Amino acid sequence: MSRLKRLLGYGVMLLLVMTAVDLWRSRDLPASAGALSQLVTLKGEPVDLVAQSHHEPVLLYVWASWCGVCRVVSPMVDMVPGPVMSIAIASGSDQKVAAYMKDKGHDFEVINDADNRLARALGIGVTPTLMVVHRGELKLATTGFTTLPGMILRRWLAELRI
């Protein structure tokens, strides 16, 4: 029993540290998600993440086709319940990104940021980066490897932070 308590204690401590690191990373995010209001997906569909985020939190996944960690994180992004939008940075033409998505079997929506303008506007310097857009604001950024439960937890925490 004491072994279980110790493991539970370590788990709680890890969760607190991860939350603190996410909050620290989020401090440099632009408060407004205005750069995400007039975008077009690879399928040619207009998307307004600011407007969409007023209904429910949207997980925003910034990735690149050449990113090794993204190859591990992307299949989990496909499993996230609720709205997910992604931005492919410096990954080539729309056709190249579409071919990559098809080859890997990913279903999440993609906005291609071939010249990194959008990534710069959002202050993104590392892939993968995950953040939540909620009520027109960027919240809870994290970089590097993130698990499916971590993604779901971030959406839930963003909603609680009203």
Q: How confident is the model at residue 142 (pLDDT cuts 50, 70, 90)?
A: confident
Provide the pLDDT for residue 15. 64
Provide the pLDDT for residue 23. 59
Q: How confident is the model at residue 155 (pLDDT cuts 50, 70, 90)?
A: confident
Mean local confidence (pLDDT), 32-51 = 86
This prediction has a pTM of 0.82
Provide the pLDDT for residue 89. 96
22 pLDDT more than 80: no
What is the CATH number that goes with domain 2-160?
3.40.30.10
Location of structure tokens 């809870």: 140
Domain ranges of the chain: 2-160
Provide the pLDDT for residue 138. 84
**Residue 117 to residue 54: CA distance in whole angstroms:** 24
Out of 43-57, 69-83, 92-106, 130-144, least confident range: 130-144
145 pLDDT more than 80: yes
- 57 phi and psi angles, rounded to 5 deg: -60, 140
**Residue 132 to residue 91: CA distance in whole angstroms:** 22
Residue 139, Cα to own-chain centre: how many angstroms? 10
Residues 6 or more apart whose Cβ sits within 8 Å of residue 63? 70, 73, 74, 86, 87, 88, 89, 127, 128
Provide the pLDDT for residue 61. 96
162 pLDDT more than 70: no
